[in-house]
A and B are shown apart, each in its own frame.
Chain A
Amino acid sequence: MAIIRAETLSKTYRVADKQPGLAGTLRHFVQRRHRDVAAVKGVSFTIEAGEMVGFLGPNGAGKTTTLKMLSGLIHPSGGMAEVAGHLPQRRQADFLRQITLVMGQKQQLIWDLPPLDSLRVNAAVYGLDDATARRRIAELADMLELGEELTRPVRKLSLGQRMKAELLAALLHQPAVLFLDEPTLGLDINAQARVRAFLADYNRRHGATVLLTSHYLADITALCPRVLLIHEGGLFHDGSLRELSSRLAPCRLVRLELEEPRPAAAFVSYGEVEACDGRDVRLLVERERLTEVVARLLADLEVRDLEVSDPPIEELIGRLFRQGAVT
């Protein structure tokens, strides 16, 4: 049974339009102009209980807005969402007990106190009795490798320790659905890996459904068999990462090592210049033109080495986003 259902979910914001500088400020002061911005445009998908789904998209694509609509923080302007059998925006207590939202750039723990104090507050709010709360804290602390950090003031914790404590606070009530917005933001590689391992472990143990956004593709590749790619407010892809890459890559990556350094402008006629560092050049070339372009490159330039490969998925997605920004 689908635990998350979104049907033509949309959200439009009204934003003030202001030109920079003093003149713009004054004009805005006298006459306010507004503009409607569609953050999410008719997105539909369903997620089964226990799935781990990655949410991809550039900044401002509508990832966070979608997560907030699913968790009930903002009302959709169109379409509808259903999570765990509830309409999220009603925010009924029964619904709230089943979900959690973790935001990498915001924190709920009390700054001046050890995490344990915030956890005790959360336990009371969710109506957990002391024995249950203690048992869950012990279990989660064990999974997150948190020990004496729980009794140290939050302000004295490192970013990674703080994030792990935030996760503990967010999962104390054992929610069935986890919305994670950039949970690894700003963490170093080791801490990222630990958070990832924890999430996979948690999903295995409790069968929780996880919907995760991240800037780090590594989070998604490690955790999510299924990926939703949002681009300019619309759903661009719903499926596995592999499918996404074959769909995005009518291109191949051509790596050149030249005898003489050349400027980037010299390669525009061959393909899209990924990088040009004097003698080392990387080009994205459409698949159909590959043989022709390689032949021309070898004929036109003094090439020391040439290598053709599949471009990494990051670059493909980045390329898609850049094109989106141009058109």
Chain B
Amino acid sequence: MRVWRQGDAPRRKRSLGQLVWGLGRRLHHGWRVARALFSSQYALMLEYRAETALWALSGILPFIMLGIWSQLAVPPAGLGPGSGADAGGIGLDQVQLSRYFLCAFVARQFSVAWVVYAFEEDALQGRLSPYLLQPLQPLWRYVAAHLAEQLTRLPFVVLIAAVFFLLQPAALWIPSPARIVATVLAIWLAFSINFLMQSCIAILCFWSERASALERLLFIPYLFLSGLVAPLQVFPPALRAAAHWTPFPYMVAFPAQLLAGGAVPIAASFAAMVGWISLLLPITLLLWRAGVRRYSAMGA
């Protein structure tokens, strides 16, 4: 966590001991700030738990789409996937479809970002100016809020998944520990991409009041290309290839397939996600600096 402290900006030569001590102090300070931020945000999110529960519930789109695709699934008595016997079918059986859409639901739940709305609200309510005066990059505040919100969301997601397995006991499975670890990592990377993309839009609030409308537009390709409404396998190859040039398939489809146990190019996908993050991060930071400059020029 990067923390800006006034007074220690100009650095002169220091002994190694001083450097280590300074670094330790900074780490310690960063840890304290992180802990305080997280726990206060968690208390706040618990206040909004009803909202969070409803929001978790509003992510049911994958289940609705499961209903649609189920009719087109390979019949359970038929041949296994990949045998090519189901002409016109989608090459996935009911259980595979159920698992995929459940995992897509979970991936979406823990990679949701809403920094645009929080930031816009803070800007409108005039809370931004005090944040800018604090020796802490304000975006960290939103990161903490998102992580706290994910923790609040966890029990509701578990509950929804439990109900799902009650209704579809055949779909129940235990992923391997390695897959679980990889999925958690993938979902966090997906969250980072989502958060950075939204932050860029949020920062545009410095220029235009209507920046959040852009988020609405960005959501549309996300909705259709991320794998939330259809598994990417059913896309024609050219469209699938095109989709993989965007960050969207990595945000839902990849973590979902990873968790559901499908065959996915793991290393290449992780590399692509890291690539997107290393592209978005500098853009976000540059935009932020320009935005703050404009904000102070406009008289805050």
Contact = CB atoms under 8 A, between A and B. Distances in A.
Interface stretch (B38-46, B266-274, B275-283): B38-46
A21 B46 CA distance: 11
Interface string B9-30: 0000000000000000000000
B46 A29 contact: yes
A29 B43 CA distance: 10
B49 A22 contact: no
A164 B46 CA distance: 41
How big is the B interface, by class?
under 10
A25 interface: yes
A25 B46 CA distance: 7
A222 interface: no
Interface string B28-54: 000000000001001100110100000
Interface residues of A, number: 5
A222 B224 CA distance: 67
Nearest to B43: A25
Contacts of A26: 46
A57 B49 CA distance: 37
A25 B44 CA distance: 9
B43 A21 contact: yes
Interface string A32-67: 000000000000000000000000000000000000
B266 to A, nearest CB: 37
Contacts of B47: 25
Nearest to B46: A25
B224 to A, nearest CB: 34
Contacts of B39: 22
A26 B42 CA distance: 10
Interface string A69-108: 0000000000000000000000000000000000000000
Interface string A9-37: 00000000000011001100100000000
Contacts of A22: 39, 42-43
Nearest to B44: A25
Contacts of B46: 25-26, 29
Nearest to B45: A25
A21 B39 CA distance: 9
A162 B35 CA distance: 44
A26 B47 CA distance: 10
A22 B151 CA distance: 14
Contacts of A25: 43, 46-47
A26 B49 CA distance: 11
Contacts of A29: 46, 49
Nearest to A24: B43
A22 B36 CA distance: 11
B225 to A, nearest CB: 36
A29 B39 CA distance: 15
Interface in B201-257: none
Of listed B42, B43, B46, B47, residue having the most chain A CB within 10 A: B43
A267 B46 CA distance: 49
A22 B42 CA distance: 8
A22 B46 CA distance: 9
Nearest to B42: A22
A17 to B, nearest CB: 14
A310 to B, nearest CB: 43
Of A21, A22, A25, A29, the most chain B CB neighbours within 10 A belong to: A25
Contacts of B42: 22
Given A22-B42, A29-B49, 8 more contacts: A21-B43, A22-B39, A22-B43, A25-B43, A25-B46, A25-B47, A26-B46, A29-B46
Interface of A: 21-22, 25-26, 29
10 contacts: A21-B43, A22-B39, A22-B42, A22-B43, A25-B43, A25-B46, A25-B47, A26-B46, A29-B46, A29-B49
Which 3 residue pairs of A and B lie closest in terms of their CB atoms, listed nearest first? Answer: A25-B43, A25-B46, A22-B43
